[in-house]
Structure 1
Amino acid sequence: MSAGLSSLARMANYVLVPGAWLGAWAWDEVAEELRQAGHRVYPVTLSGLAERRDEAAAEVGQAQHVADIVAVVEGDDLRDVVLAGHSYSGIPAGQAAGLIGDRLRRVVYVDSNVPTDGKSFVDGWSDEGRAWVEGQLAESGGFWPPLAAEDYAGQDLTDEAVATIVERSTPHPGRAITEPAKLVRPISELPTTYLKCLMDGAVPSSDVLELLKSDSWELAELPTGHWPMFSQPAALAKVLLQAG
């Protein structure tokens, strides 16, 4: 096989889904690294966020976010998809991975939650945490407000990165974090890399540890905080390349 054909055979289509409050812009530096390595990259802005925020944003549910991801894959007729979901977006990305069938090459959860059938993003929270977020949703008209600058302390972020995140974040649709997931197949069956960012906890959550017992799952780690696309974009891109 020629070098050109070999390179083509290895090429992946990276679909990158940002976490709560963020848009496709959050992946800019990572996307550039992946493109320089010869891959196609499709960063996603989920409905109700960033440039897709409108007067109906508060009504956007998590199922719509699943549909957003599937629409990118199917609308662009993508194959060999490496689907990465960060933080909150592990939940819609994990569901979308089961829906796109043989278009999927691998799922990468970037320090993220993982979907459980019939459960929402906040279902695993403590009673105190649930009460806190429900209060925020009530006070903000159905939105989950973005974090403040001080909430990013200790996460390996420069002051410039924190300022950018705070300035560009938009309120997250409340329904998206309270609507339950619906899985079409067990996520344990899908080829998966779980990336743990060690400054946001030394070990994955108990549900992820259980999933890592599957032969289809593997663990990767980075010595950085919860937003590696800003703190260590080149290292994150390397993890994604290795996964693909």
Structure 2
Amino acid sequence: MSTYLLVHGAWHSAASWDRVIPLLAGAGHRALAPSLTGHGDRSHLLGPDVGLDTHIDDVIRVLLEQDLTEVVLVGHSYAGMVISAVANLVPDRIAHLVYVDAMVPNDGESVIDVLPFTQHLIDQAAQSEAWWRIPPLPELPPPAGLFGVTDPADVAWLRTILSDEPVRCFQQAVRLDNPSASAISRTHIHCTVGAPERRPVSPAETVWELPTGHDCMVTMPFELSELLLKLA
């Protein structure tokens, strides 16, 4: 039995993994998906002091409180920042890192460095009364949709789990200075529909592709789960 710890991206919550968790559990594995501070069942904790460091602490707290080891740590989108930093701090607990259409930072980088467009979102927020919170991205015409989701029923459901993201999550930098973390195996799962330009991946790291939009856990949960199960 493997343990999967699934970390959602910006604006989302643990519910974004609802279609994946039963598939991993049905294959005999343990699958956990906490909501990061300010999201889902922890949305009441949203505030201007919540940042990337807060979310890193959230994941480490789950690892320590449940004494998890040999974990397959999965991060979607923004959570690529989170899982990278978690692995830097507690590499002995992580067996594999999986970046699901995720940001892949270098040491000292913030979300703004990895995805410069986010500075525009911060600038927009600064012009409002709620300067510290960034609302979810708007739905666009297909194939972009709402985070890559275009089915009307799925879009309607997705809207119910989205919430604002604190500006500090995009401004804080990661520290990736632990040599032990570099020994952790890494897999990247790229969603190819509407895909942005990506950073080069080391030849030593595995790359898989899914022919769908950004939120593949919503649009292709079976296919995503099949890939994750290969790492068990």
TM-score, normalization by structure 1: 0.85
Cα distance change, pair 167–37 in 1 and its aligned pair in 2 (3 A): same
Matched, 1:173 2:166: yes
Cα separation, 2, equivalents of 1:113 and 1:130: 12
Alignment match, 1:229:
217
Cα separation, 2, equivalents of 1:35 and 1:55: 29
Cα separation, 1, equivalents of 2:67 and 2:95: 14
Listed one character per residue, the Cα deviations across residues 128-182 of structure 1 (whole Å, up to 9, x for unaligned) are x355212233123301111223374283531111111122200011101111111
Letter of the structure 1 residue corresponding to residue 145 of structure 2 = A
Alignment match, 1:134:
122
Contact preservation (8 Å) 1:146, 1:166: no
Displacement of 1:80: 1.8
Cα separation, 1, equivalents of 2:228 and 2:172: 29
1:15-26 to 2 correspondence within 5 Å? 15-26=5-16
Alignment match, 1:157:
150
For structure 1, which segment, 105-114 or 57-66, has the greater mean C-alpha deviation from structure 2 after superposition?
57-66
Alignment match, 2:175:
182
Cα separation, 2, equivalents of 1:84 and 1:92: 10
Alignment match, 2:43:
53
Matched, 1:75 2:65: yes
Contact preservation (8 Å) 2:74, 2:97: yes
Cα separation, 1, equivalents of 2:213 and 2:87: 25
> Which structure has the larger Rg?
1
Quote the sequence identity (%).
32
Contact preservation (8 Å) 1:91, 1:181: yes
| Structure 2 spans left out of the alignment, 5+ residues | none
More helix per residue: 1
Letter of the structure 1 residue corresponding to residue 43 of structure 2 = R
Aligned length: 226
Give secondary structure in 2 for the equivalent of 1:243.
coil
Contact preservation (8 Å) 2:76, 2:100: yes
Specify which of 79, 100, 108 is matched with residue 89 of structure 1. Answer: 79
Displacement of 1:221: 0.9
Specify which of 113, 125, 129 is matched with residue 103 of structure 2. Answer: 113
Cα distance change, pair 125–25 in 1 and its aligned pair in 2 (3 A): closer
Specify which of 2, 26, 44 is matched with residue 36 of structure 1. Answer: 26
Cα separation, 2, equivalents of 1:41 and 1:81: 10
Alignment match, 1:199:
193
Greater than 4 Å deviation, 4+ residue runs: none
Aligned Cα root-mean-square deviation (Å): 2.0
Give secondary structure in 2 for the equivalent of 1:52.
helix
Letter of the structure 1 residue corresponding to residue 90 of structure 2 = I
Specify which of 72, 80, 90 is matched with residue 100 of structure 1. Answer: 90
For structure 1, which segment, 61-70 or 156-165, has the greater mean C-alpha deviation from structure 2 after superposition?
156-165
